[in-house]
Each structure stands twice: as C-alpha cells, then as structure tokens.
Amino acid sequence: MTDNEYLAIRGYTSNLYEHINPALRAGDAGKWSQLTSEAANGLGKLADNGYVYSGDVVRNLHLTDDQVHQLFPVNGVFSDRAFLSTTSDLGGVFPGKVTMRIASKTGVSVSSMSEYPREAEVLFSPSTPFKVLGRTQDPTKGTWDISLEEL
C-alpha cells in the first residue's frame, strides 16, 4: 500500500467522510476524486493482504419509514454510491433508529489505520451490492432492523 493510499483511508476515517460521501452520492466526486481513488485502491490492497472481514457487521442510520421502504426493497438490492462504514461491534457504535445487519464477505477491517480504532470499523467500497434479506419494524419503538447479505 502506498503512503497516499494509507493516508486516504486514515483521512476518510477521521472527518473527511463527511465531505467525501455526500459528493459520491451526488455523483460528483470533484475535488475528492483522487482521495477516493486512493482509498478504494488501498482497500483493494488490504483485502488482498488478509484484512477482509468475513462475518456480521452493523450500521445504525437515521432514516424515515419512506426511506427504508425505498432503499431496502425486500429481496431487492441495496447499494450506496459512497463508502459504507460499518462496525464489527454488533452492539453498534452510533445511534440510529435503523440498524443494518450485514453478512460481510469483502468488507475491509480498517481499525489498525483508523483515526478511531475503537469503532472496529469495517469499510466497503463504493457501490458494493447487498441483497435485502428482510426488514422488520418495531412500531412501538419506531425502529427498523434490516438484514443484508453482500453479493
């Protein structure tokens, strides 16, 4: 892995994700295109060198019910144009009324280079596809549980 690839991943795990992910979701990486490319290349190299996390990971989100229905069609496919940050800490790291539970096959453990290693971050490259296995809602709590499997 090059120094720039390492720094791109490290920077992403700090606060740069706040700028990079919205740009990727808008389809305009713009000034973030080089950093995005270096981070993606670095993830590929890490995956080739034993950093793949195979197992369950979670991500908590703040979404409306309409967004849940739109983004997660049962038996459909979900993908995010941005990097997808998850954690191997199945209790979750951040709050959110929507919990994505993902069976990871190619997510990359980036804890060793993360700005916040305690987050136990597992990172997926942009546009990684996931099959929506199911979604359940607890109407009394207003929470959702989404089951996904990486394709």
Catalytic residues: 59, 85, 121
Intra-chain end-to-end CA distance of the chain, in Å: 26
Q: Which amino acid is at 20?
A: I
The H or E element that residue 24 is part of is helix 17-25
Give the containing element (helix H, strand E) for 10. helix 3-11
Q: What backbone phi and psi angles, to 5 degrees, belong to 97?
A: -85, -10
| Phi/psi of residue 99, nearest 5 degrees | -115, 120
Interstrand relation of 143-150 and 98-109 (parallel, antiparallel or unpaired): parallel
Report the C-alpha gap between 71 and 31 in whole angstroms.
27
